[in-house]
Amino acid sequence: MALNLVKLCVGVDSVEQLQGWLDRHDGQPTMHTTRMTPKRKDEILAGGSLYWVIKRVIQVRQTVLDLEEFTDSEGIKRCNIWLENKLVRTAPSPRRAFQGWRYLKAEDAPADLTEHAGGEDLPDELRRKLIELGAW
């Protein structure tokens, strides 16, 4: 069973804003650099995703394509997380703030909106309001 990662999407206020950033990459895989390399690489690469926390709520995920450890110009080890350039909306799942990334077991991951009755049909603004009210 695949293992996932969850990470704060710092500086992003909405799924639309993140999508706009992805759109500038013309469908090519995107990369996110982090300081720590996940030790459970094989489990993540077996179909795992990176779940993004936007405004304290998991709202979307991207499939992880590769994890690439490297040492930067200052001699600090880092990890490039290569991601599919496609966002998959998920059922909202509130999260407290944290630093770095966390593992997220498949059974604890929020369902894709296509699996959540009616979720994919809601206008983004209405979905956002429901999240803010804690009604989703």
pLDDT digits (tens, 9 = 90+) for 73-129: 999 999 999 999 999 999 888 999 888 899 999 999 999 987 555 556 667 667 667
Q: What contacts 24+ positions apart, CB below 8 Å, involve 35-38?
A: 35/76, 35/77, 35/78, 35/79, 35/100, 36/79, 36/100, 36/101, 37/67, 37/69, 37/77, 37/78, 37/79, 38/5, 38/67, 38/79, 38/101, 38/103
pLDDT digits (tens, 9 = 90+) for 13-54: 999 999 999 999 888 999 999 999 999 999 999 999 999 999
Q: What is the pLDDT of residue 97?
A: 87
Among 116, 5, 87, which residue's Cα sits nearest to residue 51?
5
Q: Exposure of 4 by Cβ count < 10 A (0-12 exposed, 13-18 middle, 19+ buried)?
A: buried
Q: What is the pLDDT of residue 1?
A: 75
Q: What is the pLDDT of residue 89?
A: 93
**By the 8 A CB rule, do 62 and 9 touch?**
no
Structure tokens at 30: 């995107």
Q: What is the pLDDT of residue 85?
A: 95
Q: What is the pLDDT of residue 86?
A: 95
